[in-house]
Structure 1
Amino acid sequence: MAEPLPDLIEEIVADNGVDDFQAVAEQLLPAEDVEIATLLESLPVEERMSLWEVLPDVRKIDVLVEMRSDPREVLISATPDDKWSAILLGIDAEDLLELMDSLPSKLLELAIQALDEQQQAYFRDATQFPDEQVGHWISHEMLVLPLNAKVRDGLRLIRRNVPAHCDSIFLVNRSGQFSAAVKLTAVFGAPEHLPMVELTEESMPVIKGTDDSTTASLLVQRSGYAALPVIDDNNKLLGRHDIVSASELVNENYERQVMATAGMDEDEDLFAPVAKSARSRALWLGINLLTAFLASWFIGLFEATLQQVVALAVLMPVVASMGGIAGSQTLTLIVRGLALGQITSANLKALMTKELKVGGVNGVIWALVIGIVAFMWFSDPLLGLVICLAIFVNILAAALAGVVLPVILEKLKIDPALSGSVILTTVTDIVGFVAFLGLGSLFLL
């Protein structure tokens, strides 16, 4: 894209927009599909539709594939039925797998009919796996030879065509079962009469089609190979999972977790209808309200203390804030570790010990700082001692909750990225308020 995205958005949206969207479309011809998709997502619906209508039909499927679901569905629903025959020309199974959840059933049938026989077979095979499993996302473009092949066969195959992000030839037996892999670099320079099996990799990881897509994608990223073979339960070679697809799935999973911490969907349209956006966010606002009432109920238990020592009410937000921040730091670390498969029952105790030590060090430092500030502010040494102890207790509790909560939620099959922050905030608020007001009642009355 020759013109930076912010400038192009400004040009289209500001000053009552542009009169000639065809000129904008021509300007976008050299742009990558993902750049056009990002631009469309960044435009209000009216301007988005105007630009979509003048994009060349041959590029529309590739652009839709790069878009998030919500803005993509807006464009799909607004496109006239008689336009789809031209748009769907050349669609392949991988594109359709990406789009199928956004297509109405009538349009999905039309898209399947637009696939050639081989692509229809690939599509049927992939839909046997749910999209949480890597078998749903495999590529069928790969280099495959029989187990008894020679180096000359490998060279002939390489000269014919090498798919993108492919660095290995897969060897299969007569039943189509995966046996071994040979790096392309090992083939070059080897004697042509040499059997390929003598050049095989010693320990290439293998993925099962039923494996979790994120776990399998992380395996590809760490493997050092451009792609790994994907097999079924009978060891039959299904396809391969390459580094680009793996990185996309990992990035999508990360974005899903980030958005989930705010109770939002990673596919939400920037310019979604107000009613839809409000409805999707209302649930977590309601849950947050319930947890706030719970914290308020605990505060109400110390109403008499607050009436007699007003300074406690002034300092309460400090206690809650310090616990919340300390807990969110630990929670983020643990959620990431769980997502990457780095945390197990074997290292959980050591990790908890480490986080409690970190909480203890930070608790002592900031408890002393805040205690001194409170003493100087209110000229009351006992008040300084009370908030000092409360801060220390709350930061320790936050560290413990930040480790334990996501582990428990994962065991309960609840996404810790989605609900962990809400529960953690409730825990740190209640522990902080009870510790602060309870100690205040003990020392200041």
Structure 2
Amino acid sequence: MEKLIEVFNLGGLPTAPLDSFLELQEDFKKSDPDKLSKLQMLIITRGFKYAFKAWQDSDGKLWIIDAHQRRKALLALRKSGFTIPEIPYEPIFAADKKEAVEEIAAYNSEFATRNPDTLLFKKYNIDSDTLQRFNLGYEVKTTDFGQLSPLFAQEHESENVQEDATDFNVPASEDTVIARPGDIWLLGSHRLMCGDCRSKADITALMNGQHADLCVTDPPYNVNYEGGTEEELTIQNDSMENDLFATFLRQVFSVMFAVLKPGGSYYIFHADSEGENFRASLRKAGFKIAQCCIWVKNTMVMGRQDYQWQHEPCLYGWKPGAGHQWNSDRKQTTVWNFDKPQRNAIHPTMKPIALMAYPISNSSTPGQIVLDIFSGSGSTLMACQQIDRICHAMEIDPKYVTATIYRYRAMFPGQPIRLVRNGELLDVKQTADMIADQNKVIQ
């Protein structure tokens, strides 16, 4: 009877034969025979459930970042007569082999002992400051958990966020649309561009030489959504063939990856029916997927399916290369209960401001830059204004950019609004006159 090790692929990850994975840690770890035996027994009795983390170089070779001891355990089991199926692995982004070795320092395995005489980091010129981030070779201070009690009882920053007091409609006709492609609107300290987030030129203009600390965005769901209001609003790029939509997402997330700082987190709202495309595209762009959060709405959304939708998933993760930021306590869960807007007159999938403020508060600090590459109704920008973040937002549709401008002016009447058009900065008065001429947007 064949002795087969059961391998679980819980996340639908890519797989490769065991021999495809190469060692990178060299002399960094010393194997402990007792721990290795325990690991083999765990694999035999419970199956192999933990994917490798691997970096793929320019030649297509897979180098292990985390799982060196698991690989040794599997090789030993195979030598003992067990059959080992292909192993799932999580791709880890690294610019080169040096950066890949830094990732090894970040993933410090419990199944082996660090070799105090290792030459690995010296070989790749990785300095002590970098290693200190991972507590390698340094004393770890004992934490007094009594001092952490405020972390379990503090008021959440998003609790005081206000929703709109004014009802809006998008511009009813082209002659009431004040935004044009290429415009960059300066709303207080925020930047809102009418442009295409797939365009490196547009995203470069939006970021203005800066990098984002966090990305919170709500891409098209590819469900051909049409708003339920009398305006019957639609969304660009919301009805594509599967392959085209996958390509679209890869383009978007690759650009997003380029402008997000290492360690910068992201939150991506999406449709459950397109979850596979979103996850695969994020991984191909180089991002780590950590969790999936669920926005639970107070009422269902009527549709044609058997079960009416009352939730939206939101993927959470970060860009590898540095530790990600967590700015909240340990009580937050993956279930987010926020009432949906009573009207979606600005955008068909309009999000409540408080909903957008919640993850922003958790994964950034005041003064940091929050990127939204599918701004839509502008809820991310409105949230940033209220919790002291700086929003850099992109929206391809001029009518939604226009609606966001009027929405911002109504919510924050004392804030200056200026416009950069064709490389020329209009002053506050010129911009105000342009807005006043089209004062038909607010109903």
TM-score (norm 2): 0.23
TM-score (norm 1): 0.23
Which protein, 1 or 2, shows the higher relative CO under an 8 Å CA cutoff with sep ≥ 6?
A: 2
Q: Which has the higher helix share?
A: 1
Q: Which has the higher strand share?
A: 2
